[in-house]
Amino acid sequence: IDLKRFSSQGYVEPGKYNLQVQLNKQPLAEEYDIYWYAGEDDASKSYACLTPELVAQFGLKEDVANNLQWSHDAKCLKSGQLEGMEIKADLSQSALVISLPQAYLEYTYPDWDPPSRWDDGISGIVADYSINAQTRHEENGGDDSNEISGNGTVGVNLGPWRMRADWQTNYQHTRSNDDDDEFGGD
């Protein structure tokens, strides 16, 4: 091993690393296998290979994404083409930290993901409900009543489609007790 390589700040030994990617301090949903390559001009530098699949998760504006250039047989984003972009490895945290100017990105907000990161999820059926029952019996000849109510949502997730239906129902039965008053009366 040539220890001279490690004298360069940010040098990462070429190879494959499984890293959590952070874009502008926001972690992406999954970890990615990131390949590091030795610099073609300078072997004391190494570069992360940002694949087209990973770059698609950045939420770049369409015109920016369409003009990107690729290297290593179109498997890696060619470095240096997005001015202001910084890529650093934090191997102690198993993270690839990417800083990218907002000017290149679609609308972003800390609690919102751009459509490029949306996932259709798993197809399935959803059912949510709440049922309540109440019985009331009044002493001394009052009315007896029973009530049952329910509400909820049923739905289906099928690919990108989300179908939902809300429902509610109510049943009430009251029985009058017309017995004579136990105290009698005229």
Report the pLDDT averaged over residues 150-168: 95
Q: Which two tokens stand for residue 172?
A: 């009430």
Q: Higher model confidence: residue 36 or residue 116?
A: 36
- Taking alpha carbons only, the member of 67, 51, 52, 53 closest to residue 104 is 67
Q: Is the entire prediction scored with pTM above 0.75? A: no
pLDDT tens figures, 88-102: 999 889 999 999 999
Torsion of CA 76, 101, 32, 120, to 10 degrees: -110
Q: What is the pLDDT of residue 186?
A: 47
pLDDT tens figures, 51-88: 999 999 998 999 999 999 998 888 999 988 899 999 99
The lowest-confidence range among 26-30, 102-106, 138-142, 181-185 is 181-185
CATH number of 3-108: 3.10.20.410
Domain boundaries, the chain: 3-108, 124-175
Torsion of CA 156, 158, 162, 165, to 10 degrees: -20
pLDDT tens figures, 104-157: 998 767 777 777 778 888 999 999 999 999 998 887 777 889 999 999 999 999
